[in-house]
């Protein structure tokens, strides 16, 4: 059986070589590019099962690479590497066709889990519209609807719901939501997450009494959207 092939586009040599070593131990074949132009050339000319793409790169940044690849109808799954301070660029990257992101610093085990999750998806990009049953989120227009009725959300409610939608069917812990949505701000506590889950339930579940609830509590573990 042919090994799955991954392209790592990362200008920090230590991170890139560490990822290559770890992924090769997991039986992936790995190519490395240390700048955006070389990474783009590799992605266009080679056949890869997944691209790990740093957001901030010399010569061509990750958003530009992602946008150009999608214009060329190259739909290889892309996992974007971002710094915690780059929220707007992170959203821009997802809107230009990236499939997921992971924030530096990260554990290799989490990166590996995300790669495997991407590789299990159908062979196409998620696109701009995220769905769970009759709930839809347009990540370009920042519009959320259920049963074709528009739902007004605050910025933070939107970000929590977006993370749950991007990880639909998976159990998401409070700590993970704090890390992904609040970036470990000092004043954020687990009960803050509970508050926002309540806000979301009041907007996407309770008003739709004849519809099944979408947000489920998995006691002792976290929340699941399904």
Could you tell me where the DSSP H helices lie in 105-222? Answer: 108-120, 155-166, 174-177, 190-204
Using pLDDT thresholds of 50, 70 and 90, give the confidence band for residue 125.
very low
Query: 120, 149, 176: which is the final residue of a domain?
Result: 120
- Tell me the pLDDT tens digit for each residue of 25-74: 988 889 999 999 999 999 998 888 899 999 889 999 998 999 899 888 88
Question: b/e string for 127-160 if b means 16 or more Cβ within 10 A?
Answer: eeebebeebbbebeeeebebeeeebebeeebbbb
Do residues 136 and 106 share a domain?
no
Predicted local distance difference test score (pLDDT) of residue 106: 87
Do residues 145 and 78 share a domain?
no
Do residues 134 and 115 share a domain?
no
Do residues 113 and 151 share a domain?
no
> Cβ neighbours of residue 120 under 8 Å, at least 6 residues apart?
none
Q: Is the whole model's pTM more than 0.75, yes or no?
A: no
Could you tell me the residue range of the domain that residue 151 belongs to?
129-225
Do residues 57 and 147 share a domain?
no
Do residues 133 and 116 share a domain?
no
- Tell me the pLDDT tens digit for each residue of 139-181: 777 899 999 999 999 988 998 998 899 888 889 988 888 877 7
């Amino acid at each position: 059986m042919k090994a799955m092939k991954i392209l790592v586009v990362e200008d920090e040599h230590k991170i890139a070589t560490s990822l290559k070593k770890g992924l090769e131990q997991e039986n992936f074949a790995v190519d490395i590019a240390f700048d955006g132009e070389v990474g783009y050339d590799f992605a266009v000319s080679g056949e890869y099962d997944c691209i790990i793409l740093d957001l901030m790169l010399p010569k061509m940044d990750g958003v530009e690479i992602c946008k150009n690849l999608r214009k060329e109808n190259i739909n290889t799954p892309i996992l974007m590497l971002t710094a915690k301070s780059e929220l707007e660029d992170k959203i821009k990257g997802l809107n230009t066709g990236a499939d997921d992101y992971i924030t530096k610093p990260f554990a290799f085990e989490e990166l590996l889990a995300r790669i495997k999750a991407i590789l299990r998806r159908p062979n196409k990009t998620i696109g701009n519209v995220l769905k769970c049953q009759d709930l839809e989120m347009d990540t370009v227009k920042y519009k959320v609807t259920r049963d074709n009725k528009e739902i007004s959300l605050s910025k933070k409610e939107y970000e929590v719901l977006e993370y749950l939608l991007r990880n639909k069917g998976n159990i998401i812990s409070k700590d993970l939501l704090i890390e992904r949505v609040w970036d470990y701000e000092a004043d954020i506590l687990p009960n803050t997450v509970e508050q926002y889950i309540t806000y979301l339930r009041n907007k996407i579940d309770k008003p739709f009494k004849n519809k099944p609830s979408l947000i489920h509590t998995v006691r002792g573990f976290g929340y699941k959207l399904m």
